[in-house]
């Protein structure tokens, strides 16, 4: 039987880099002594009170169809929090609830692009961006961030990437995988180009609650950007709710209306009890989020110090998030070789960062979403691995 060409467009070009991660997961299920640092699922339990709120909502009968755009109280809460954080004036009409940030990203891309549009994405980029954009028939145009300057944005490269077919600029700030936040001057430069060329901007901000060192800035709050910016957020990381699949897009009301039409066809509303639990978390669990941020920051600092003591490895200290980019070129191994040999010899699983674009070649991404004792054990194994090669 024949399949649609969509299947080829969403296959992506870096799927094989996940093979080692899947192998490690299977080995762990089989009882092997593996340490998985190759995925970004928080190791914290969802706050107990959030689970109780979901249970109460289910027991109260909130188990039927819901509004396609989402629970009004939840949408209003997200709008209010975004306005407080950014200064951008929004209300519930600017918010749609989606099945995670990925669903928001996919839906937005379907609504704003098609062939022969081009979408510029700052690279390294999250792995699903490629397939998400190609699914519409649009072309992804990567703008490589400068590795040697800590993955900072070269404005001239961004200008040169814009063509008559350019439709939008996508980026994540803080970034997955680098953990780098875009600075105010970088956002201002992007905004200037977006306005000049009448472009959409999609700002993926799912890690904004885990910024450690620098001030976080929203591009949507800059003059002239509210009508052309989509801000994507999620409960997954900030509240350890990755399996609950609650995300959102904050956008001009017209785009939200169009997203509602698309959601009618592919989602038909998120479960009400999950939305009530999410609202409870936003209103009552900020301290849980702050506690998680403090732990992530401590783990980041621990890993940066330990990697700095291992010859041949160089860690890029992230501004935010739950990942560390480690330059392995000093070992004489390519990133795929490093990942394979490290796992084969130590059963520590890290991810070849090439998954996030060719600009990350020579780096591996290390997640610090496991408890401190496992991180300490993993670092000892990595140090022994490097020593064995000398």
Per-residue pLDDT of 160-171, as tens digits, reads 999 999 999 999
260 shares its domain with 303? no
In which domain, by residue range, is 296 found? Answer: 6-45+287-389
304 shares its domain with 234? no
Of 318, 328, 330, 314, give the one whose Cα is nearest residue 367.
Answer: 318
Number of structural domains found in the chain: 2
123 shares its domain with 248? yes
Count CB-CB contacts under 10 A for residue 44: 17
What distance in Å separates the CA atoms of residue 338 and residue 283, rounded to the nearest whole number?
44
362 shares its domain with 338? yes
Per-residue pLDDT of 107-120, as tens digits, reads 999 999 999 999 99
Can you read off the two tokens belonging to residue 310? 């291992």
Report the CATH number that the domain containing residue 89 is assigned in CATH: 3.40.640.10
pTM of the model: 0.94
Say what angle helices 253-266 and 100-112 make with each other, to 10 degrees: 110
Asked whether 131 and 282 are in contact (CB, 8 A), the reply is no
Count CB-CB contacts under 10 A for residue 251: 29
What distance in Å separates the CA atoms of residue 357 and residue 247, rounded to the nearest whole number?
25
| Residue 196 CB partners (closer than 8 Å, separation 6+) | none
239 shares its domain with 315? no
- Its sign, for the CA torsion 88, 93, 98, 102, is negative
- Residue in the block written with tokens 């600009």: 359
Residue 320: beta bridge partners?
211
pLDDT at 266: 92
Last residue of a domain, one of 255, 285, 315: 285
What distance in Å separates the CA atoms of residue 182 and residue 126, rounded to the nearest whole number?
15
pLDDT at 12: 61
Last residue of a domain, one of 285, 317, 341: 285
Last residue of a domain, one of 265, 285, 305: 285
C-alpha 276 chain-centroid distance = 24
109 shares its domain with 148? yes
What distance in Å separates the CA atoms of residue 216 and residue 358, rounded to the nearest whole number?
27
Residue 187 domain-assigned (yes or no): yes
pLDDT tens digits in sequence order for the chain, 390 residues long: 988 888 888 876 565 667 788 888 898 899 889 999 998 888 899 999 999 999 999 999 999 999 999 999 999 999 999 999 999 999 999 999 999 999 999 999 999 999 999 999 999 999 899 999 999 999 999 999 988 888 889 999 999 999 999 999 999 999 999 999 999 999 999 999 999 999 999 999 999 999 998 889 999 999 999 999 999 999 999 999 999 999 999 999 999 999 999 999 999 999 999 999 999 999 999 999 999 999 999 999 999 999 999 999 999 999 999 999 999 999 999 999 999 999 999 999 999 998 898 888 999 999 999 999 999 999 999 999 999 987
177 shares its domain with 67? yes
Instruction: Identify each DSSP E strand in the chain by its residue range.
Output: 35-36, 95-98, 118-123, 139-144, 166-172, 200-204, 229-234, 247-250, 314-316, 323-327, 348-349, 351-352, 363-367
pLDDT at 15: 57
Asked whether 157 and 163 are in contact (CB, 8 A), the reply is no
| DSSP states of 311-334 | TT-EEEPPSBSSEEEEE-GGGT--
Of 61, 84, 50, 94, give the one whose Cα is nearest residue 283.
Answer: 50
Q: How wide is the angle at C-alpha 324 spanned by C-alphas 321 and 327, nearest 5°?
A: 150
Residue 208 domain-assigned (yes or no): yes
What distance in Å separates the CA atoms of residue 346 and residue 71, rounded to the nearest whole number?
47
Q: Give the C-alpha distances (Å, rounded to integers) separating 111 from 30, 44, 130, 136, 247.
A: 43, 35, 16, 9, 17
Residue 115, judged by CB atoms within 10 A of its CB (0-12, 13-18, 19+), counts as exposed
Report the CATH number that the domain containing residue 341 is assigned in CATH: 3.90.1150.10
Of 249, 286, 267, give the one whose Cα is nearest residue 95.
Answer: 249
| Residue 33 CB partners (closer than 8 Å, separation 6+) | 347
| DSSP states of 348-370 | EE-EEGGGG-GGGTTEEEEE--S
What distance in Å separates the CA atoms of residue 118 and residue 140, rounded to the nearest whole number?
6
pLDDT at 9: 84
Residue 1 domain-assigned (yes or no): no
What distance in Å separates the CA atoms of residue 278 and residue 247, rounded to the nearest whole number?
10
């Amino acid at each position: 039987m024949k399949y649609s060409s969509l299947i080829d467009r969403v296959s992506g070009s870096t799927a094989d880099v996940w093979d080692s991660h899947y192998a490690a997961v299977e080995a762990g299920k089989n009882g092997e002594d593996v340490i998985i640092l190759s995925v970004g699922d928080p190791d914290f339990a969802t706050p107990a009170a959030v689970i109780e709120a979901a249970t109460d909502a289910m027991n109260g009968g909130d188990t039927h169809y819901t509004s396609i755009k989402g629970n009004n109280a939840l949408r209003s809460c997200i709008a209010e929090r975004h306005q407080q954080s950014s200064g951008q004036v929004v209300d519930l009409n600017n918010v749609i609830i989606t099945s995670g940030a990925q669903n928001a990203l996919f839906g937005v891309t379907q609504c704003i692009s098609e062939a022969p549009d081009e979408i510029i994405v700052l690279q390294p980029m999250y792995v699903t961006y490629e397939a998400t954009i190609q699914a519409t028939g649009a072309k992804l145009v990567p703008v490589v961030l400068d590795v040697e300057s800590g993955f900072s944005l070269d404005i001239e490269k961004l200008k040169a990437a814009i063509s008559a077919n350019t439709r939008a600029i996508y980026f994540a700030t803080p970034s997955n995988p680098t953990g780098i936040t875009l600075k105010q001057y970088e956002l201002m430069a992007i905004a200037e180009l977006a306005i000049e060329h009448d472009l959409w901007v999609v700002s993926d901000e799912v890690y904004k609650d885990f910024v450690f060192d620098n001030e976080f800035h929203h591009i949507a709050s800059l003059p002239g950007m509210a009508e052309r910016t989509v801000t994507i957020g999620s409960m997954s990381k900030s509240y350890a709710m990755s399996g609950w699949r609650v995300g959102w897009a904050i956008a001009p009301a017209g785009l939200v209306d169009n997203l509602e039409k698309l959601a009618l066809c592919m989602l038909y509303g998120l479960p009400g009890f999950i939305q009530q639990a999410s609202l409870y978390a936003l209103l009552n669990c900020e301290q849980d989020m702050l506690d998680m941020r403090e732990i992530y920051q401590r783990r980041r600092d621990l890993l940066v110090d330990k990697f700095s003591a291992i010859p041949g490895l160089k860690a890029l200290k992230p501004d935010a998030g739950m990942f560390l980019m480690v330059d392995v070129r000093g070992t004489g191994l390519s990133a795929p070789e490093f990942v394979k040999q490290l796992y084969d010899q130590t059963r520590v699983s890290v991810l070849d960062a090439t998954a996030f674009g060719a600009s990350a070649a020579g780096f591996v991404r290390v997640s610090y979403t496991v408890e401190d004792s496992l991180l300490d054990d993993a670092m000892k194994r990595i140090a022994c691995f490097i020593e064995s090669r000398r």
